[in-house]
Structure 1
Amino acid sequence: MKLKNIILKSIAYSFVLFTISSCNEDEGTDIGLSNLNLIFEDNFNGEAGQSINTDNWNFDIGTGQNGWGNQELQYYTDRPENVSLDGEGNMVITARRESFQGSPFTSARINTRDKVEQQYGRFEARIQMPGGRGVWPAFWMLGSNIETQPDDDPATVVWPFAGEIDITEMRGQEPFRSIGTIHGPGYSGGGGISDQFDLAEERFDTEFHVFAIEWSPDFIDYFIDGVRFNRIRKDDIPNGTDWVFDDQPFFILLNVAVGGTFVGFPVDTTPLPQRMIVDYVRIYAIAN
Protein backbone atom coordinates (compact mmCIF):
# COMPACT_ATOMS: atom_id res chain seq x y z
CA MET A 1 0.00 0.00 0.00
CA LYS A 2 1.24 3.48 -0.86
CA LEU A 3 0.61 5.97 1.93
CA LYS A 4 2.22 9.39 1.42
CA ASN A 5 1.82 12.10 4.03
CA ILE A 6 -1.35 10.77 5.61
CA ILE A 7 -2.13 10.37 9.27
CA LEU A 8 -2.82 6.82 10.35
CA LYS A 9 -4.07 5.75 13.72
CA SER A 10 -1.08 4.94 15.87
CA ILE A 11 -2.49 1.58 16.77
CA ALA A 12 -4.53 -0.15 14.07
CA TYR A 13 -7.38 -2.09 15.53
CA SER A 14 -9.29 -5.11 14.41
CA PHE A 15 -12.72 -4.48 13.01
CA VAL A 16 -15.03 -7.47 12.73
CA LEU A 17 -17.91 -6.87 10.39
CA PHE A 18 -21.25 -8.46 11.06
CA THR A 19 -23.96 -8.20 8.43
CA ILE A 20 -27.67 -8.53 9.04
CA SER A 21 -28.89 -10.10 5.83
CA SER A 22 -27.99 -11.08 2.31
CA CYS A 23 -29.88 -10.41 -0.88
CA ASN A 24 -28.49 -13.08 -3.22
CA GLU A 25 -28.03 -16.82 -3.51
CA ASP A 26 -25.39 -16.82 -0.77
CA GLU A 27 -27.97 -16.05 1.91
CA GLY A 28 -27.35 -18.15 4.97
CA THR A 29 -23.60 -18.51 4.40
CA ASP A 30 -20.94 -16.71 6.38
CA ILE A 31 -20.53 -13.25 4.88
CA GLY A 32 -18.29 -10.36 5.72
CA LEU A 33 -14.52 -10.40 6.08
CA SER A 34 -13.31 -10.59 9.67
CA ASN A 35 -10.18 -9.28 11.37
CA LEU A 36 -9.99 -6.08 9.39
CA ASN A 37 -7.55 -3.39 10.49
CA LEU A 38 -8.45 0.24 9.98
CA ILE A 39 -5.51 1.76 8.09
CA PHE A 40 -6.93 5.02 6.71
CA GLU A 41 -9.79 7.38 7.41
CA ASP A 42 -10.69 10.93 6.55
CA ASN A 43 -13.46 12.42 8.68
CA PHE A 44 -13.38 15.78 6.90
CA ASN A 45 -13.08 17.85 10.05
CA GLY A 46 -12.35 21.54 9.59
CA GLU A 47 -13.90 24.94 9.17
CA ALA A 48 -16.67 25.63 6.69
CA GLY A 49 -15.28 26.53 3.27
CA GLN A 50 -11.89 24.98 4.00
CA SER A 51 -10.34 22.85 1.27
CA ILE A 52 -9.98 19.10 1.62
CA ASN A 53 -6.70 17.62 2.86
CA THR A 54 -4.40 17.50 -0.15
CA ASP A 55 -2.10 15.08 1.67
CA ASN A 56 -4.90 12.57 1.00
CA TRP A 57 -6.65 13.86 -2.12
CA ASN A 58 -5.96 15.14 -5.62
CA PHE A 59 -8.28 17.24 -7.79
CA ASP A 60 -9.20 16.31 -11.34
CA ILE A 61 -9.62 19.55 -13.28
CA GLY A 62 -11.38 20.33 -16.57
CA THR A 63 -13.71 18.60 -18.98
CA GLY A 64 -11.58 15.57 -19.76
CA GLN A 65 -11.30 13.91 -23.16
CA ASN A 66 -14.81 13.59 -24.63
CA GLY A 67 -16.41 14.54 -21.32
CA TRP A 68 -14.25 12.11 -19.32
CA GLY A 69 -15.10 9.48 -21.92
CA ASN A 70 -18.82 9.63 -21.16
CA GLN A 71 -20.01 12.83 -22.90
CA GLU A 72 -20.40 14.52 -19.51
CA LEU A 73 -21.22 18.24 -19.47
CA GLN A 74 -19.56 19.55 -16.29
CA TYR A 75 -16.24 21.31 -15.78
CA TYR A 76 -14.48 19.92 -12.71
CA THR A 77 -12.81 22.54 -10.48
CA ASP A 78 -11.03 22.78 -7.14
CA ARG A 79 -13.02 25.87 -6.12
CA PRO A 80 -14.72 25.90 -2.70
CA GLU A 81 -17.98 26.49 -4.58
CA ASN A 82 -17.62 22.93 -5.89
CA VAL A 83 -15.68 21.06 -3.19
CA SER A 84 -14.98 22.02 0.42
CA LEU A 85 -15.64 21.14 4.05
CA ASP A 86 -18.94 22.26 5.58
CA GLY A 87 -17.72 22.81 9.16
CA GLU A 88 -19.94 19.97 10.41
CA GLY A 89 -17.57 17.07 9.75
CA ASN A 90 -18.46 16.58 6.09
CA MET A 91 -16.92 17.10 2.68
CA VAL A 92 -19.34 18.46 0.10
CA ILE A 93 -19.11 18.15 -3.68
CA THR A 94 -21.56 20.56 -5.31
CA ALA A 95 -22.75 20.38 -8.91
CA ARG A 96 -23.91 23.78 -10.19
CA ARG A 97 -25.67 25.12 -13.26
CA GLU A 98 -23.31 27.91 -14.35
CA SER A 99 -21.29 28.81 -17.40
CA PHE A 100 -17.61 28.14 -16.67
CA GLN A 101 -14.71 27.66 -19.09
CA GLY A 102 -17.16 26.92 -21.91
CA SER A 103 -19.17 24.33 -19.96
CA PRO A 104 -22.76 24.80 -18.76
CA PHE A 105 -22.18 23.10 -15.37
CA THR A 106 -19.46 22.85 -12.73
CA SER A 107 -18.71 20.15 -10.19
CA ALA A 108 -15.73 18.34 -8.61
CA ARG A 109 -13.93 15.03 -8.85
CA ILE A 110 -11.28 14.01 -6.31
CA ASN A 111 -9.02 10.97 -6.02
CA THR A 112 -6.34 9.43 -3.78
CA ARG A 113 -3.94 8.34 -6.52
CA ASP A 114 -0.29 8.02 -5.36
CA LYS A 115 -1.38 9.06 -1.86
CA VAL A 116 -3.72 6.35 -0.58
CA GLU A 117 -3.74 3.08 -2.52
CA GLN A 118 -4.64 -0.36 -1.22
CA GLN A 119 -5.05 -3.91 -2.51
CA TYR A 120 -7.78 -5.97 -0.82
CA GLY A 121 -9.80 -5.13 2.28
CA ARG A 122 -12.89 -3.08 3.00
CA PHE A 123 -13.51 0.32 1.41
CA GLU A 124 -16.44 2.34 2.71
CA ALA A 125 -17.95 5.81 2.87
CA ARG A 126 -20.99 7.32 4.54
CA ILE A 127 -22.68 9.57 2.00
CA GLN A 128 -25.87 11.49 1.35
CA MET A 129 -26.23 11.47 -2.40
CA PRO A 130 -27.45 14.20 -4.76
CA GLY A 131 -30.49 13.71 -7.00
CA GLY A 132 -32.19 15.11 -10.07
CA ARG A 133 -32.45 13.99 -13.67
CA GLY A 134 -29.07 13.92 -15.36
CA VAL A 135 -27.04 14.04 -12.11
CA TRP A 136 -24.52 11.19 -11.75
CA PRO A 137 -22.76 10.73 -8.39
CA ALA A 138 -20.19 7.98 -7.86
CA PHE A 139 -17.89 6.46 -5.22
CA TRP A 140 -15.46 4.21 -7.08
CA MET A 141 -11.92 2.87 -7.57
CA LEU A 142 -9.34 2.49 -10.33
CA GLY A 143 -6.20 0.39 -10.67
CA SER A 144 -3.09 2.34 -9.73
CA ASN A 145 -1.30 1.72 -13.04
CA ILE A 146 -3.97 3.39 -15.17
CA GLU A 147 -3.07 6.05 -17.72
CA THR A 148 -5.43 8.11 -19.85
CA GLN A 149 -3.12 7.80 -22.84
CA PRO A 150 -0.78 4.90 -23.70
CA ASP A 151 2.93 5.57 -23.30
CA ASP A 152 6.18 3.64 -23.45
CA ASP A 153 6.05 2.50 -19.82
CA PRO A 154 4.90 -1.14 -19.77
CA ALA A 155 3.76 -0.71 -16.16
CA THR A 156 0.92 1.63 -17.21
CA VAL A 157 -2.23 0.67 -19.10
CA VAL A 158 -5.35 2.39 -20.34
CA TRP A 159 -8.90 1.78 -19.16
CA PRO A 160 -10.41 -0.79 -18.78
CA PHE A 161 -7.28 -2.96 -18.57
CA ALA A 162 -6.32 -1.46 -15.20
CA GLY A 163 -9.71 -2.38 -13.75
CA GLU A 164 -12.52 -0.31 -12.24
CA ILE A 165 -14.67 -1.03 -9.19
CA ASP A 166 -17.80 1.11 -8.85
CA ILE A 167 -18.76 0.85 -5.19
CA THR A 168 -21.86 2.89 -5.96
CA GLU A 169 -23.07 5.04 -8.80
CA MET A 170 -26.54 6.46 -9.21
CA ARG A 171 -28.82 8.01 -11.75
CA GLY A 172 -30.24 11.11 -10.13
CA GLN A 173 -33.65 10.36 -11.62
CA GLU A 174 -33.65 7.08 -9.64
CA PRO A 175 -32.76 8.27 -6.11
CA PHE A 176 -33.87 4.96 -4.59
CA ARG A 177 -31.36 2.81 -6.54
CA SER A 178 -27.62 2.19 -6.06
CA ILE A 179 -25.66 0.30 -8.72
CA GLY A 180 -22.40 -1.58 -8.10
CA THR A 181 -20.27 -2.70 -11.04
CA ILE A 182 -16.84 -3.97 -12.03
CA HIS A 183 -15.19 -3.16 -15.37
CA GLY A 184 -12.30 -4.93 -17.03
CA PRO A 185 -11.14 -6.02 -20.49
CA GLY A 186 -14.10 -7.70 -22.19
CA TYR A 187 -16.62 -6.57 -19.56
CA SER A 188 -16.57 -2.79 -19.58
CA GLY A 189 -19.00 0.05 -20.23
CA GLY A 190 -22.48 -1.34 -20.80
CA GLY A 191 -21.02 -4.85 -20.49
CA GLY A 192 -19.78 -4.35 -16.94
CA ILE A 193 -20.72 -6.98 -14.35
CA SER A 194 -23.29 -5.33 -12.16
CA ASP A 195 -26.13 -5.54 -9.68
CA GLN A 196 -28.35 -2.98 -7.98
CA PHE A 197 -29.85 -2.32 -4.56
CA ASP A 198 -33.23 -0.59 -4.27
CA LEU A 199 -34.54 1.10 -1.13
CA ALA A 200 -38.14 0.17 -0.43
CA GLU A 201 -39.42 3.34 1.21
CA GLU A 202 -36.41 5.66 1.38
CA ARG A 203 -34.15 7.66 -0.93
CA PHE A 204 -30.40 7.98 -1.09
CA ASP A 205 -30.67 11.76 -1.59
CA THR A 206 -32.53 12.51 1.65
CA GLU A 207 -30.32 10.85 4.28
CA PHE A 208 -26.93 9.24 4.80
CA HIS A 209 -26.16 5.63 3.89
CA VAL A 210 -22.98 3.55 4.16
CA PHE A 211 -21.68 2.19 0.85
CA ALA A 212 -18.93 -0.43 0.94
CA ILE A 213 -17.14 -3.24 -0.81
CA GLU A 214 -15.05 -6.04 0.61
CA TRP A 215 -12.38 -7.12 -1.85
CA SER A 216 -10.49 -10.38 -1.51
CA PRO A 217 -8.32 -12.33 -3.99
CA ASP A 218 -11.31 -14.36 -5.20
CA PHE A 219 -14.37 -12.09 -5.00
CA ILE A 220 -15.75 -8.61 -4.42
CA ASP A 221 -18.75 -8.20 -2.09
CA TYR A 222 -21.08 -5.18 -2.20
CA PHE A 223 -22.77 -3.75 0.90
CA ILE A 224 -25.22 -0.97 1.73
CA ASP A 225 -25.84 -0.20 5.39
CA GLY A 226 -24.31 -3.55 6.36
CA VAL A 227 -26.44 -5.59 3.97
CA ARG A 228 -24.59 -7.54 1.30
CA PHE A 229 -26.53 -7.43 -1.95
CA ASN A 230 -24.03 -8.89 -4.41
CA ARG A 231 -20.91 -11.01 -4.70
CA ILE A 232 -18.86 -11.00 -7.91
CA ARG A 233 -16.44 -13.93 -8.22
CA LYS A 234 -13.52 -14.57 -10.53
CA ASP A 235 -15.55 -17.10 -12.49
CA ASP A 236 -18.35 -14.58 -13.10
CA ILE A 237 -16.36 -12.77 -15.77
CA PRO A 238 -16.78 -13.80 -19.43
CA ASN A 239 -14.74 -16.71 -20.75
CA GLY A 240 -11.46 -15.62 -22.27
CA THR A 241 -11.23 -12.40 -20.25
CA ASP A 242 -8.95 -11.49 -17.37
CA TRP A 243 -9.75 -10.86 -13.70
CA VAL A 244 -7.75 -7.65 -13.26
CA PHE A 245 -8.32 -7.29 -9.52
CA ASP A 246 -5.49 -9.39 -8.10
CA ASP A 247 -2.22 -7.77 -9.17
CA GLN A 248 -2.13 -4.17 -7.93
CA PRO A 249 -3.56 -1.66 -5.44
CA PHE A 250 -6.45 0.62 -6.35
CA PHE A 251 -7.17 4.25 -5.46
CA ILE A 252 -10.49 5.93 -4.54
CA LEU A 253 -12.50 8.52 -6.47
CA LEU A 254 -15.53 10.61 -5.52
CA ASN A 255 -17.34 12.79 -8.02
CA VAL A 256 -20.64 14.22 -9.21
CA ALA A 257 -21.01 14.32 -12.99
CA VAL A 258 -23.76 16.13 -14.88
CA GLY A 259 -25.09 14.46 -18.02
CA GLY A 260 -23.35 11.62 -19.79
CA THR A 261 -24.20 8.33 -21.40
CA PHE A 262 -25.12 6.60 -18.13
CA VAL A 263 -27.75 9.08 -16.94
CA GLY A 264 -28.77 11.10 -19.98
CA PHE A 265 -28.87 14.85 -20.05
CA PRO A 266 -30.31 17.14 -17.37
CA VAL A 267 -33.45 19.12 -18.14
CA ASP A 268 -34.42 22.68 -17.33
CA THR A 269 -36.33 21.46 -14.28
CA THR A 270 -33.38 19.48 -12.87
CA PRO A 271 -32.93 21.06 -9.42
CA LEU A 272 -29.43 22.49 -9.15
CA PRO A 273 -27.22 22.93 -7.24
CA GLN A 274 -27.02 19.34 -6.00
CA ARG A 275 -24.69 18.17 -3.23
CA MET A 276 -22.88 14.93 -2.43
CA ILE A 277 -22.27 15.12 1.33
CA VAL A 278 -19.54 12.74 2.54
CA ASP A 279 -19.27 12.09 6.28
CA TYR A 280 -16.18 9.85 6.11
CA VAL A 281 -14.07 7.57 3.94
CA ARG A 282 -12.39 4.52 5.52
CA ILE A 283 -10.11 1.72 4.35
CA TYR A 284 -9.55 -1.52 6.24
CA ALA A 285 -6.82 -4.02 5.37
CA ILE A 286 -7.16 -7.76 5.83
CA ALA A 287 -5.10 -8.77 8.87
CA ASN A 288 -2.39 -11.36 8.33
Structure 2
Amino acid sequence: MIARLTNSLYVIKSTAFAVVVCAGLFSTTSQAEKKPIDNAKWFHQTQLPDGNAWFNNEQQHYTNRIDNAYISDGTLKIVAQKERFSDQGKTKQYTSARLNSKFAFTYGRVDVRAKLPTGHGTWPAIWTLGKNIKEPGAYWQTQGFGTTAWPACGEIDIMEHWGSRQSFVQSAMHTPSSFGDTVNKGEQYVKTASSQFHIYSMEWSPQQIVFSVDNKVHYRYQPEVQNALTWPFDSAQYLILNLAIEADIYKNFDSAQMEIDYIRVFAVDADRGDQPIWSDEFD
Protein backbone atom coordinates (compact mmCIF):
# COMPACT_ATOMS: atom_id res chain seq x y z
CA MET A 1 0.00 0.00 0.00
CA ILE A 2 2.90 2.38 0.58
CA ALA A 3 4.27 1.69 -2.88
CA ARG A 4 1.86 0.92 -5.63
CA LEU A 5 4.17 1.83 -8.51
CA THR A 6 6.75 2.34 -7.49
CA ASN A 7 -3.15 -3.85 13.50
CA SER A 8 -4.16 -5.73 18.46
CA LEU A 9 -5.83 -7.68 15.93
CA TYR A 10 -9.27 -8.50 16.24
CA VAL A 11 -12.45 -10.24 15.94
CA ILE A 12 -13.85 -13.71 16.16
CA LYS A 13 -16.99 -15.50 15.15
CA SER A 14 -15.91 -19.07 14.67
CA THR A 15 -12.69 -21.03 14.68
CA ALA A 16 -12.96 -22.64 11.29
CA PHE A 17 -9.27 -22.40 10.55
CA ALA A 18 -7.10 -22.55 13.66
CA VAL A 19 -5.88 -21.20 16.97
CA VAL A 20 -6.34 -17.49 17.39
CA VAL A 21 -3.25 -15.68 18.58
CA CYS A 22 -5.15 -12.43 18.94
CA ALA A 23 -8.61 -11.49 17.82
CA GLY A 24 -10.31 -8.15 18.13
CA LEU A 25 -13.94 -7.22 18.18
CA PHE A 26 -15.63 -4.12 16.92
CA SER A 27 -18.34 -4.29 19.58
CA THR A 28 -21.58 -2.36 19.71
CA THR A 29 -24.35 -2.26 22.26
CA SER A 30 -26.90 -0.86 19.84
CA GLN A 31 -26.98 -2.35 16.36
CA ALA A 32 -28.91 0.65 15.04
CA GLU A 33 -26.37 3.31 16.06
CA LYS A 34 -22.87 4.17 14.98
CA LYS A 35 -20.35 3.17 17.60
CA PRO A 36 -16.67 4.12 17.72
CA ILE A 37 -13.91 1.60 17.22
CA ASP A 38 -12.27 0.12 20.30
CA ASN A 39 -9.37 2.46 20.99
CA ALA A 40 -7.72 -0.18 23.15
CA LYS A 41 -7.25 -2.23 20.00
CA TRP A 42 -7.04 0.28 17.16
CA PHE A 43 -5.26 3.56 16.52
CA HIS A 44 -6.46 6.24 14.12
CA GLN A 45 -3.47 7.22 11.98
CA THR A 46 -4.14 10.78 10.83
CA GLN A 47 -0.78 12.57 10.67
CA LEU A 48 0.41 13.43 7.15
CA PRO A 49 3.69 11.49 6.90
CA ASP A 50 4.98 12.84 3.59
CA GLY A 51 5.18 16.54 4.33
CA ASN A 52 1.91 17.89 3.00
CA ALA A 53 0.30 14.65 1.91
CA TRP A 54 0.03 10.88 2.06
CA PHE A 55 2.13 8.63 -0.14
CA ASN A 56 1.07 7.60 -3.66
CA ASN A 57 -0.62 10.93 -4.32
CA GLU A 58 -3.59 9.94 -2.16
CA GLN A 59 -6.17 12.74 -2.07
CA GLN A 60 -7.82 12.28 1.33
CA HIS A 61 -7.31 13.36 4.89
CA TYR A 62 -7.57 10.43 7.28
CA THR A 63 -9.58 11.45 10.34
CA ASN A 64 -10.47 10.03 13.74
CA ARG A 65 -14.13 10.97 13.33
CA ILE A 66 -16.93 8.49 13.75
CA ASP A 67 -18.22 9.57 10.33
CA ASN A 68 -15.23 7.85 8.72
CA ALA A 69 -14.92 4.73 10.88
CA TYR A 70 -17.68 3.24 12.98
CA ILE A 71 -19.41 0.05 14.06
CA SER A 72 -23.02 -0.77 13.26
CA ASP A 73 -25.03 -3.95 12.78
CA GLY A 74 -22.06 -6.09 13.73
CA THR A 75 -19.58 -4.78 11.16
CA LEU A 76 -16.91 -2.13 10.88
CA LYS A 77 -17.44 0.52 8.22
CA ILE A 78 -14.54 2.56 6.88
CA VAL A 79 -16.12 5.38 4.91
CA ALA A 80 -14.54 7.71 2.36
CA GLN A 81 -16.49 10.89 1.69
CA LYS A 82 -16.26 13.87 -0.61
CA GLU A 83 -16.12 16.91 1.66
CA ARG A 84 -13.88 19.89 2.18
CA PHE A 85 -11.78 19.18 5.28
CA SER A 86 -8.85 21.06 6.80
CA ASP A 87 -6.28 19.51 9.13
CA GLN A 88 -2.60 20.09 9.89
CA GLY A 89 -2.74 23.30 7.88
CA LYS A 90 -3.85 21.51 4.71
CA THR A 91 -7.27 21.47 3.06
CA LYS A 92 -8.38 18.42 1.08
CA GLN A 93 -11.60 17.50 -0.68
CA TYR A 94 -11.98 13.96 0.71
CA THR A 95 -11.91 12.23 4.09
CA SER A 96 -11.52 8.61 5.13
CA ALA A 97 -9.97 6.48 7.90
CA ARG A 98 -6.78 4.50 8.37
CA LEU A 99 -6.56 2.16 11.36
CA ASN A 100 -3.40 0.64 12.87
CA SER A 101 -3.70 -2.38 15.13
CA LYS A 102 -2.20 -2.08 18.60
CA PHE A 103 -1.21 -5.70 18.23
CA ALA A 104 1.77 -7.03 16.32
CA PHE A 105 2.63 -10.62 15.51
CA THR A 106 5.22 -12.83 13.82
CA TYR A 107 3.94 -15.70 11.63
CA GLY A 108 0.40 -17.02 11.58
CA ARG A 109 -2.77 -16.78 9.55
CA VAL A 110 -4.90 -13.68 9.08
CA ASP A 111 -8.50 -13.95 7.88
CA VAL A 112 -10.53 -10.85 7.08
CA ARG A 113 -14.13 -11.15 5.95
CA ALA A 114 -14.87 -8.00 3.98
CA LYS A 115 -17.05 -6.38 1.36
CA LEU A 116 -15.30 -3.82 -0.81
CA PRO A 117 -16.40 -0.43 -2.16
CA THR A 118 -17.27 0.46 -5.72
CA GLY A 119 -16.17 3.44 -7.76
CA HIS A 120 -13.26 4.37 -9.99
CA GLY A 121 -10.59 5.98 -7.84
CA THR A 122 -11.35 4.11 -4.60
CA TRP A 123 -8.45 2.12 -3.15
CA PRO A 124 -9.21 -0.05 -0.10
CA ALA A 125 -6.48 -2.14 1.47
CA ILE A 126 -5.95 -4.72 4.20
CA TRP A 127 -2.24 -5.01 4.87
CA THR A 128 0.65 -5.08 7.32
CA LEU A 129 3.84 -3.17 8.00
CA GLY A 130 6.80 -3.98 10.20
CA LYS A 131 6.32 -2.88 13.78
CA ASN A 132 9.75 -1.26 13.45
CA ILE A 133 8.77 1.10 10.61
CA LYS A 134 10.00 4.65 10.87
CA GLU A 135 6.92 6.56 9.74
CA PRO A 136 5.69 9.81 11.31
CA GLY A 137 2.32 9.33 12.95
CA ALA A 138 2.20 5.52 12.75
CA TYR A 139 1.12 3.88 16.01
CA TRP A 140 4.27 1.88 16.67
CA GLN A 141 6.43 4.89 15.84
CA THR A 142 4.62 6.78 18.59
CA GLN A 143 5.45 3.91 20.95
CA GLY A 144 9.18 4.16 20.30
CA PHE A 145 9.64 1.24 17.89
CA GLY A 146 10.37 3.24 14.73
CA THR A 147 13.93 2.25 13.79
CA THR A 148 13.72 1.02 10.19
CA ALA A 149 12.78 2.81 6.99
CA TRP A 150 10.39 1.39 4.44
CA PRO A 151 10.70 -1.04 2.64
CA ALA A 152 13.38 -2.59 4.87
CA CYS A 153 10.68 -3.05 7.52
CA GLY A 154 8.71 -5.25 5.10
CA GLU A 155 5.16 -4.83 3.84
CA ILE A 156 2.55 -7.53 3.25
CA ASP A 157 -0.48 -6.51 1.20
CA ILE A 158 -3.14 -9.06 2.07
CA MET A 159 -5.74 -7.41 -0.16
CA GLU A 160 -5.78 -4.34 -2.36
CA HIS A 161 -8.59 -3.36 -4.67
CA TRP A 162 -8.96 -0.59 -7.20
CA GLY A 163 -12.32 0.66 -8.39
CA SER A 164 -10.90 0.90 -11.89
CA ARG A 165 -10.61 -2.93 -11.85
CA GLN A 166 -13.78 -3.70 -9.99
CA SER A 167 -13.71 -7.50 -10.14
CA PHE A 168 -10.05 -8.07 -9.24
CA VAL A 169 -8.14 -8.07 -5.96
CA GLN A 170 -4.38 -8.14 -5.56
CA SER A 171 -1.89 -9.31 -2.96
CA ALA A 172 1.72 -8.15 -2.97
CA MET A 173 5.03 -8.03 -1.10
CA HIS A 174 7.30 -5.01 -0.73
CA THR A 175 10.95 -5.58 0.15
CA PRO A 176 14.34 -3.94 -0.47
CA SER A 177 15.05 -6.50 -3.23
CA SER A 178 12.32 -4.94 -5.37
CA PHE A 179 13.25 -1.42 -4.23
CA GLY A 180 9.75 -1.19 -2.80
CA ASP A 181 8.13 -1.54 -6.22
CA THR A 182 5.13 -3.79 -6.78
CA VAL A 183 7.00 -6.67 -8.41
CA ASN A 184 6.09 -9.65 -6.25
CA LYS A 185 2.33 -9.91 -6.60
CA GLY A 186 -0.65 -12.01 -7.62
CA GLU A 187 -4.30 -11.32 -8.27
CA GLN A 188 -7.63 -13.09 -8.33
CA TYR A 189 -10.91 -12.47 -10.13
CA VAL A 190 -13.67 -11.91 -7.57
CA LYS A 191 -16.85 -10.98 -9.44
CA THR A 192 -18.84 -10.17 -6.30
CA ALA A 193 -16.06 -8.38 -4.38
CA SER A 194 -18.30 -5.37 -3.75
CA SER A 195 -21.69 -7.04 -3.44
CA GLN A 196 -20.84 -9.97 -1.17
CA PHE A 197 -18.49 -10.69 1.72
CA HIS A 198 -15.37 -12.71 0.98
CA ILE A 199 -12.60 -14.01 3.23
CA TYR A 200 -9.19 -12.56 2.39
CA SER A 201 -6.42 -14.62 3.94
CA MET A 202 -2.68 -14.55 4.44
CA GLU A 203 -0.69 -17.49 5.83
CA TRP A 204 2.76 -16.50 7.02
CA SER A 205 5.37 -19.08 7.99
CA PRO A 206 9.18 -18.88 8.26
CA GLN A 207 9.41 -20.30 4.73
CA GLN A 208 6.69 -18.58 2.71
CA ILE A 209 3.66 -16.31 2.64
CA VAL A 210 0.51 -17.53 0.88
CA PHE A 211 -2.51 -15.45 -0.14
CA SER A 212 -6.04 -16.63 -0.87
CA VAL A 213 -9.65 -15.56 -1.26
CA ASP A 214 -12.23 -17.93 0.20
CA ASN A 215 -9.41 -20.51 0.49
CA LYS A 216 -8.53 -20.27 -3.21
CA VAL A 217 -4.81 -19.48 -3.44
CA HIS A 218 -3.70 -16.85 -5.96
CA TYR A 219 -0.16 -15.97 -4.86
CA ARG A 220 2.73 -17.53 -2.98
CA TYR A 221 5.84 -15.60 -1.98
CA GLN A 222 8.76 -17.98 -1.43
CA PRO A 223 12.12 -16.46 -2.43
CA GLU A 224 14.92 -18.90 -3.20
CA VAL A 225 17.28 -16.89 -1.03
CA GLN A 226 16.04 -15.43 2.23
CA ASN A 227 18.00 -12.46 3.51
CA ALA A 228 17.41 -8.88 4.59
CA LEU A 229 16.76 -7.87 0.99
CA THR A 230 14.15 -10.51 0.16
CA TRP A 231 12.76 -11.54 3.55
CA PRO A 232 12.37 -8.89 6.26
CA PHE A 233 9.60 -11.09 7.63
CA ASP A 234 11.01 -12.75 10.73
CA SER A 235 9.96 -9.83 12.91
CA ALA A 236 6.58 -8.55 14.05
CA GLN A 237 4.12 -6.85 11.71
CA TYR A 238 0.94 -4.95 12.54
CA LEU A 239 -2.31 -4.62 10.63
CA ILE A 240 -3.60 -1.63 8.70
CA LEU A 241 -7.11 -1.08 7.37
CA ASN A 242 -7.73 1.90 5.13
CA LEU A 243 -9.69 3.28 2.21
CA ALA A 244 -7.70 5.73 0.08
CA ILE A 245 -8.83 8.06 -2.68
CA GLU A 246 -6.76 8.22 -5.85
CA ALA A 247 -6.13 11.29 -7.98
CA ASP A 248 -8.36 9.94 -10.77
CA ILE A 249 -11.44 9.68 -8.57
CA TYR A 250 -14.63 10.31 -10.54
CA LYS A 251 -15.91 13.88 -10.24
CA ASN A 252 -19.38 12.65 -9.24
CA PHE A 253 -18.00 10.56 -6.35
CA ASP A 254 -19.94 11.11 -3.14
CA SER A 255 -18.99 8.34 -0.71
CA ALA A 256 -17.95 4.69 -0.52
CA GLN A 257 -17.24 2.22 2.23
CA MET A 258 -15.27 -0.91 2.99
CA GLU A 259 -17.25 -3.12 5.35
CA ILE A 260 -15.46 -5.65 7.55
CA ASP A 261 -17.32 -8.45 9.29
CA TYR A 262 -14.36 -9.82 11.22
CA ILE A 263 -10.59 -10.04 11.47
CA ARG A 264 -8.85 -13.09 12.91
CA VAL A 265 -5.24 -13.93 13.60
CA PHE A 266 -4.37 -17.57 14.07
CA ALA A 267 -1.21 -19.24 15.31
CA VAL A 268 1.10 -20.71 12.70
CA ASP A 269 0.56 -24.45 12.06
CA ALA A 270 -2.58 -24.61 14.20
CA ASP A 271 -5.12 -27.28 13.31
CA ARG A 272 -8.58 -26.62 11.94
CA GLY A 273 -11.16 -26.59 14.67
CA ASP A 274 -8.72 -25.69 17.44
CA GLN A 275 -10.14 -23.45 20.11
CA PRO A 276 -8.93 -19.87 20.19
CA ILE A 277 -6.31 -18.78 22.65
CA TRP A 278 -8.07 -15.45 22.93
CA SER A 279 -11.13 -14.30 21.06
CA ASP A 280 -14.04 -11.93 20.81
CA GLU A 281 -17.29 -12.43 18.89
CA PHE A 282 -19.90 -10.25 17.27
CA ASP A 283 -23.40 -10.77 18.70
TM-score, length of structure 2 as denominator length: 0.80
User: What SS does the aligned partner of 1:70 have?
Assistant: helix
Contact 1:118 1:251 in 2 (8 A): yes
**Secondary structure of 2:56's partner?**
helix
Inter-CA distance 172–63: structure 2 relative to 1 (3 Å threshold): farther
Matches within 5 A, 1:96-245: 96-101=81-86, 102-112=91-101, 115-148=102-135, 156-199=147-190, 202-235=191-224, 241-245=229-233
Unmatched tracts of structure 1, length 5 or more: 18-35
Of 56, 60, 69, the match for 2:45: 60
Number of aligned pairs?
249
Is the Cα contact below 8 Å between 1:165 and 1:181 reproduced in 2? yes
Secondary structure (helix, strand or coil) at the match of 1:245 reads coil
| Residues 240, 75 of structure 1: alpha-carbon distance in 2 compared, 3 angstrom cutoff | closer
The letter of the residue matching 1:267 is Y
- CA-to-aligned-CA distance 1:249-279 (integer Å, 9 cap, x gap): 11000000001xxxx5212133x21011111
Residue 281 of structure 1: aligned partner: 263
* Superposition pairs of residues 32-47 of structure 1, within 5 angstroms: 36-46=18-28, 47=30
Superposition deviation, residue 234 in structure 1: 2.5
Offset from partner CA, 1:32-78 (integer Å, 9 cap, x none) = xxxx4112222422032111011110001144315322111000001
Task: Answer yes or no: is the 8 Å Cα contact 2:167–2:192 preserved in 1.
Answer: yes
Match of 1:31 in 2: none
**Greater RCO, CA 8 A, separation 6+:** 2
Q: Please point out which of 80, 87, 100 is paired with 1:95.
A: 80
Q: Percent identity between the aligned chains?
A: 29
Q: Using the alignment, how far apart are the partners of 1:118 and 1:79 within structure 2?
A: 27
Q: Which amino acid aligns with 1:193?
A: N
Distance 1:138 1:105 in 2: 17
For the residue of structure 1 that corresponds to 2:176, the secondary structure is coil
Contact 2:115 2:195 in 1 (8 A): yes
Residues 1:174 and 1:155: Cα distance change in structure 2 (over 3 Å)? closer
Secondary structure of the equivalent of 1:179? strand
Q: Please name the residue that 2:36 is paired with.
A: 51
Contiguous gaps of at least 5 residues in structure 2: 1-6, 271-283
